[in-house]
Amino acid sequence: MLALRLTRGARPAVQLRRLLVAVASAGTGFLFLCTLGHAMSHPESTTAALLRLAWCLTPLAATVYFAVAVARTDPATRPRPGLSAIGLGPARLMAVSATTTALSCTLGSMLALLLFLHLRGDLTGMPFDGAAAGFLAADVPLPLPAALTLLALVPAIASVAVATALRPREPRPTGAREENARGAGAWVPARGYGRFGAYGQSGARETFGAYGRFGARLRARPGPAAVGAAAVARGDVTSTTAVTATDQPVESAVPAGTGTAGPASDGPPAPREAPAGLPWGIAVLAAGLAVESYAGRSPGGSGLRMPGGLSTGPAGVLVGWILATLGLALAGPGLTHLCGSLLQAVRPGPLRLLAGRVLMAEAGRIGRPLGVVCAVASAAYAATALAEGPSFGPLSTLGALLVSGCTVATLLTAAVEAKHARADTTAALLRLGAPATMLRSAAALRAGALLALFVPLTLVVAELAALPLAR
């Protein structure tokens, strides 16, 4: 009931994103049902039916990926102060978000079932009733358990993926801050359990029976100076308590989240580290291209029928494509961070410095969707170059539209999330007198830098991926 109320009270932009998730789920469910109909009309070709079912896994993965991105940007299920007191802690909000995703995907699956029944001719009242009766085996009774099982795949997998991605995590201090605090002689408290559903640390943990142990209450507790230094090292307080030579506490205001406070601070916080997935992504991408090349040169091997009129090739080529896609997804954040570093290289001005710093800060948020879009674009380019027939079939076109649409929508959703995340910074720049034209120019510069890096990379990967099948 709470998920339904949050769904009804959401803003139009949030409702549009949920509607797009339902449309993607409907398309994927319709592909699964068409695969079932083809298997019923051709019971003798079991291998072809299994191959068609395997090709449906790509739209399924794209739909789940988009559903997770939409759930991350949902403001209704974001933890807020005070919600834990009424039983809406992080775990409950995670369950609400997973339920909302399941509802959207279930709506799409029901729409796919209605369309499938109309095309078979089982339902009447639409102009296209029975338009695909021969292909969907209208003369064979529809196995309802099999159809419902296929339709339940998208809601079940999407809700589990959302619950896994949004599971509550205890915020722990970074290694650099903890080492600085311990080096300054500060007392770093142990991990606290806190109240149910609450973030943060509520005190030092005590083992079983520690309260009644002899002398446990007489041990010296850390003083206010050590506690204040540890709080400054964590950088999660709004005011710190410093102790003077006369042991009188002195309050010094600290902005929340900055981790700096007058004499108690060692300096500005350490800069954000670069994403660590760039070497792994390049290695996986090179391994995928090598597997494709080796599979294309080997004379023997099982042939694999590609969808959409593509040339038949060995199964190792498909494995190479999957590895190349995974490599681009892993290397995306690192490449975005590198692009931001290059923007502010060689005596940057305010415009290049702002654009580069924003790209470096948002590399982890938009880098991976950008890498996935690059992989999908390279696969689409290679598929267009290798197409044997004049055009793709209707189901192949639907699958390609689903995959490309979900990946592009995921990238746009991540960009909107990044814009909302830096709204305070943008407002601060405007208050300081920065012109709005400079902010728009910085956004255009970021987009141009990303296009200048990823478009040639996409073309190179597409050409190398198409070589094994072009022979």
Tens digits of pLDDT across the chain (471 residues)? 665 666 666 678 888 898 999 999 999 999 999 888 888 888 887 888 888 888 899 999 999 999 999 998 887 666 666 666 666 677 788 888 888 899 999 999 999 999 888 888 777 766 666 666 667 777 788 888 999 999 999 999 999 999 998 887 765 555 545 555 445 444 444 444 444 444 444 444 444 444 444 454 444 444 444 444 444 444 444 443 444 444 444 444 444 444 444 444 444 444 567 788 888 999 999 998 888 888 766 655 555 666 555 555 566 777 888 888 899 989 999 999 999 999 888 888 889 989 899 999 888 889 999 999 999 998 888 777 666 554 567 888 888 899 999 999 999 999 988 888 888 888 998 998 888 899 999 999 999 999 999 999 999 988 887 777 665
pLDDT the model gives residue 387:
62
Q: Is 247 helix (H, G, I), strand (E, B) or coil?
A: coil
The per-type count for the chain, helices as H runs and strands as E runs, is 16, 4
What is the Cα–Cα distance from 226 to 139, expressed in whole angstroms?
79
pLDDT the model gives residue 246:
40
pLDDT the model gives residue 284:
92
Q: Among all chains, which residue has been given the structure tokens 């206010």?
A: 224
Q: Residue 364: which region, alpha, beta or left (left: phi > 0; alpha: psi -120 to 50)? A: alpha
First to last CA, the chain: 58
What is the Cα–Cα distance from 274 to 361, expressed in whole angstroms?
9
What is the Cα–Cα distance from 236 to 259, expressed in whole angstroms?
7
The residues, any chain, with a CB within 8 Å of residue 393's CB and separated by 6 or more, are 307, 308, 309
Identify the DSSP state of 169.
-
What is the Cα–Cα distance from 40 to 137, expressed in whole angstroms?
6
pLDDT the model gives residue 272:
64
What is the Cα–Cα distance from 436 to 376, expressed in whole angstroms?
34
Residues 392, 369, 288: CA angle, nearest 5 degrees: 65
pLDDT the model gives residue 130:
65
What is the Cα–Cα distance from 13 to 19, expressed in whole angstroms?
10
The pair phi, psi for residue 252, each rounded to 5°, is: -130, 125
- Residue 301: beta bridge partners? none
pLDDT the model gives residue 411:
93
What is the Cα–Cα distance from 344 to 348, expressed in whole angstroms?
5
pLDDT the model gives residue 292:
80
pTM of the entire structure?
Answer: 0.74
pLDDT the model gives residue 403:
93
